[in-house]
Each structure stands twice: as C-alpha cells, then as structure tokens.
Amino acid sequence: PPGLIVPLLPFAGAFVALLGWWSTLGASNDRVWQPDVAMLPSAEIEGEIVTLRNIRSFSYRSETDYTPRWYDKSFDLRQLDTLDLIAVYWMGDAIAHTILSFGFAGEQIAISIEARKEQDEAYSAFAGFFRRYELYYVVADESDLIGLRASYRDPPEDVYLYRTNAPPERLRHLFLEYVTKIDELNDRPEFYNTATTNCTTNIVMHIQAIGPQVPLSWKMLASGYFPELAYERGSLDQSLPFDALRQQSHINERARAADGADDFSRRIRDNLPGVP
C-alpha cells in the first residue's frame, strides 16, 4: 500500500547510496600488506624459459612466527611434465582450499589462489563477498604452502595430494594461463570474492580458458568435492575407487616427517597412487 512505501523511502535511498559507493571501490596493490603476501609475484617469458619472481619460501616455527624468504627462479617449459591437485580441509568434507602444483622434471612450483590481507586484517568468508580483499596468487615452494598447513596451523589441516593425468601440452597451456593472470594482477589488481573468484572457481576459469569447455557442477562450488569431480571425469588415477584413492593421498604424516628437508616434494609423494 502507498502508506507503507513512504516511510521506506529514506531506507531505500540510503541503500542505493551505499550500493553506489560500494560499486566505486577499486582494487589496489598499494596497501600495507601482511608479510606473507607482501611481495607480488610476476613472470617473464623468453622463448621456452619462464622466470618467476617473488616465489615464497618461508621457514615456519608456527603459523605466525616465520622467517620470510622470497626468490626468483627460471623454469623450462619443455620440462613441464606433471600437475598435482592439492586439497586442504579444515572444516569438514564440503569445503577445501585447492592448490595446483606444476612439476618440471621433478622440481615443483605450487600456486595457491588466496585473499590478500592487509596488516591487522583477519579473513572472513562473509566479508569476502563485499570487496574486502584483493585477489592474490601465492607462487611458492611446496615446503611452504603444504608444510604450513600440515604442520604449523593449529590445529593442523588435512592435506591430500592427487596426481593428475593431464598431457604435457595441456599442462603448458594451463601454466601459461596462470602466468598471464599473475602478470595481469600486477597492472590491474582485482578483488577476491568468496563465491565467484576464489581458489577453486579460478582454477576452473583457467581450465575453461584453455579449452575444451568442461561442464559446470555444484562440486566446483562445494570445493571439498572438487577432487571427486576430477576423478569422475577421468582426470585422476583410476586404478582405485575414489575412497581408496583419497585415503592413500593423505600426506600429513609424510609432510611432517619431511619438514625442512631439501627433498620435501619427493618425500611427500613416496608411494602415492599414480606417482612413478
């Protein structure tokens, strides 16, 4: 009724004004960042050689007590031969943080898509819907990304590592798609979004970008089931039922035993299904 509409007009006006202000918020690389996301990775491509800059390789004593280290390294695309899917669980089976790790003749580089937090800023999934955080691609050693989650988070998170069977040419396209995005974020920062621009939806976006298109599934949003979806579509080792594959792909004990070792990546893969 008209009599009810008039009192609501001020609230509607305030909402429109708030929405207009929110839409003007712009992502930025120029903020006071937390130390673990302080350096923005970048890449240079010269023929078959890709040089990654600001690779993270922290040494942890606890989740918040660590020695920072960043370095640059070059990789030969002709040696890119493996891709592993890493899924990390901390709150049940439905939600996981997903990471891809690219293997260059046994040398791994892992890339984790995350929210870039400012100093004294805590992560909130709810706030992540509303342009609170910038989008950040952590390019790191596995001993950093996996070791942190398996050994130094309190409580430790459950980490699973699956070898994919993607062919080398597809790996090359996917890696270069990642590299292109990493460089784009240097020039055109973007916002992280809990639902649409996160660790799993962006993996799907990159896979879709290199084609062929893969059918969408609710398991892409309920990220804890993303490895099961990959198995159902034939992208993971098929020699075992998925439940058995998942059980054998749990690597926490291996990661803790290999903590600080130079051959961390090799040791966490010992006797994993699909890994020679």
Cα 93 versus chain centre, distance = 18
Kindly report which listed range (18-32, 57-71, 126-140, 256-270) carries the lowest average pLDDT score: 18-32
Q: Which of 149, 78, 60 is nearest to 110 (CA)?
A: 149
Phi, psi dihedrals of residue 81, rounded to the nearest 5°: -135, -5
β-partners of residue 114 are 136
Q: Cα–Cα distance between 124 and 19 in angstroms, integer?
A: 20
In tens, the pLDDT along 79-111 reads 999 999 999 999 999 999 999 999 999 999 999
In tens, the pLDDT along 123-159 reads 999 999 999 999 999 999 999 999 999 999 999 999 9
Can you give the pTM of this predicted structure?
A: 0.91
Contacts 24+ apart (CB under 8 A), 19-26: 22/130, 22/131, 25/131, 25/191
pLDDT at 10: 58
Cα 143 versus chain centre, distance = 15
Listed by start position, the domains of the chain span 82-267
Phi, psi dihedrals of residue 33, rounded to the nearest 5°: -90, 160
The pairing of beta strand 134-140 with beta strand 107-116: antiparallel
Q: Residue 21: pLDDT band by 50, 70, 90 thresholds?
A: very low
Question: What are the CA-CA distances from residue 92 to residues 96, 124, 138, 157 (Å)?
Answer: 8, 17, 24, 10
**Inter-residue contact 114 to 236 (CB < 8 Å):** no
